[in-house]
């Protein structure tokens, strides 16, 4: 087994997110990641995974594009969930939408919600507003996603809105998730405080890209893996089998605590 460093970005929006720029088409996103030298990305539109297949098809494995969603919980907390394949992501979305309020999008206010194919052909438009809280709590969402074998990440924990901390305060020790995401703008000094408050958690940096210029290594995380894949990322986040997350803010390897060894 040879482990190598791979750049990974586990949070990204496409033209399906009303807040995502119209330039966030499938081939455009792929081109930006190739140029940045990022090996793996997760396509995580708000409450929906409909454009993940388009990005994966446009990428053809370079970069590896995993399907995911940025769930907005009933408390308005953002949580990134990532799945190994499109079917698993679509199944989860179906579960999530059992409690999606039937509020319609108003493109002139919130922006377009376009479903595209790998060549940016528009397949349709999502009519239900994606930037609203689905009906499940953070606990319910995390438990359901974990139970389905997803990678679960609390999004932009440092932000004053739509983050777990901002809404509910400190994250309990037993809250089920693989990592805490911090914004690329977090300073080293601020990161040290996060580390001190949550010594047993794994921290990652993700781009949360809404426009192509957001896509760069400076907003990503390096993981030591055999290949860029869902299972390797999952192992890196859990510190399994030698895989690890290199702390984007330096000062030690987040997954130095290897849980199961080997």
Which residues are near Zn ion by CB under 5 A? 70, 78, 155, 208
Supply the minimum distance, in Å, between the C-beta of residue 67 and Zn ion.
15
**In sequence order, what are the residues at sequence separation of 6 or more whose Cβ sits closer than 8 angstroms to the Cβ of residue 195?**
203, 251
SS3 124: strand
- Report residue 8 as tokens: 């990974």
Closest listed residue to residue 228, CA positions, set 66, 86, 82: 66
Q: Which is nearer to Zn ion, 151 or 155 (CB)?
A: 155
Between CA 230 and CA 48, with CA 213 as vertex, the angle to 5 degrees is 45
Q: Which is nearer to Zn ion, 145 or 155 (CB)?
A: 155
Q: Which is nearer to Zn ion, 115 or 131 (CB)?
A: 131
Supply the minimum distance, in Å, between the C-beta of residue 250 and Zn ion.
25
> Using CB atoms, what's the residue nearest to Zn ion?
78
Supply the minimum distance, in Å, between the C-beta of residue 161 and Zn ion.
9
Supply the minimum distance, in Å, between the C-beta of residue 153 and Zn ion.
11
Report H helices in the chain: 26-36, 52-59, 86-96, 107-110, 138-147, 164-168, 188-197, 230-238
**Main-chain dihedrals φ then ψ at residue 74, nearest 5 degrees:** -60, -30
Q: Which is nearer to Zn ion, 151 or 238 (CB)?
A: 151
Scored b (16 or more CB within 10 A) or e, 144-181 reads bbeebebbbbbbbbbbeebbbbeebeebeeebebbbbb
Supply the minimum distance, in Å, between the C-beta of residue 3 and Zn ion.
29
- Report residue 23 as tokens: 């330039």
Q: Which is nearer to Zn ion, 205 or 243 (CB)?
A: 205
Supply the minimum distance, in Å, between the C-beta of residue 110 and Zn ion.
14
Q: Which residues partner with 179 through β-bridges? A: 153
Q: Which is nearer to Zn ion, 28 or 70 (CB)?
A: 70
Supply the minimum distance, in Å, between the C-beta of residue 237 and Zn ion.
18
Say how many C-beta atoms besides its own lie within 10 A of residue 77's C-beta. Answer: 24
- Can you give the length of the chain in residues? 262
Report H helices in 70-175: 86-96, 107-110, 138-147, 164-168
Q: Which is nearer to Zn ion, 28 or 232 (CB)?
A: 28
Supply the minimum distance, in Å, between the C-beta of residue 253 and Zn ion.
26
Q: Which is nearer to Zn ion, 204 or 235 (CB)?
A: 204
């Amino acid at each position: 087994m040879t482990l190598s460093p791979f750049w990974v970005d586990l949070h990204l929006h496409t033209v399906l997110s009303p807040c995502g720029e119209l330039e966030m088409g499938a081939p455009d996103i792929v081109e930006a990641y190739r140029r940045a030298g990022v090996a793996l990305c997760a396509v995580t539109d708000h409450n929906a995974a409909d454009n993940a297949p388009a990005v994966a098809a446009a990428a053809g494995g370079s970069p590896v594009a995993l399907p995911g969603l940025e769930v907005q919980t009933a408390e308005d907390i953002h949580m990134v969930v990532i799945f190994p394949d499109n079917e698993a992501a679509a199944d989860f979305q179906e579960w999530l939408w059992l409690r999606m309020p039937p509020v319609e999008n108003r493109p002139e206010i919130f922006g377009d919600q376009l479903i595209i194919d790998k060549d940016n052909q528009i397949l349709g438009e999502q009519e239900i507003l994606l930037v609203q809280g689905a009906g499940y709590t953070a606990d319910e969402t995390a438990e359901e996603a974990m139970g389905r074998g997803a990678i679960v990440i609390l999004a932009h924990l440092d932000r004053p809105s739509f983050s777990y901390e901002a809404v509910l305060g400190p994250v309990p020790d037993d809250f089920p998730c693989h990592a805490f995401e911090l914004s690329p703008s977090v300073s080293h000094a601020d990161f040290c405080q996060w580390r001190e408050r949550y010594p047993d958690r794994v921290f990652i940096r993700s781009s949360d890209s809404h426009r192509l210029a957001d896509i760069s290594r400076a907003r990503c995380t390096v993981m030591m893996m055999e290949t860029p894949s869902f299972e390797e990322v999952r192992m890196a986040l859990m510190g399994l089998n030698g895989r690890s997350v290199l702390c984007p803010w330096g000062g030690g390897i987040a997954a130095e605590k290897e849980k199961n060894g080997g």
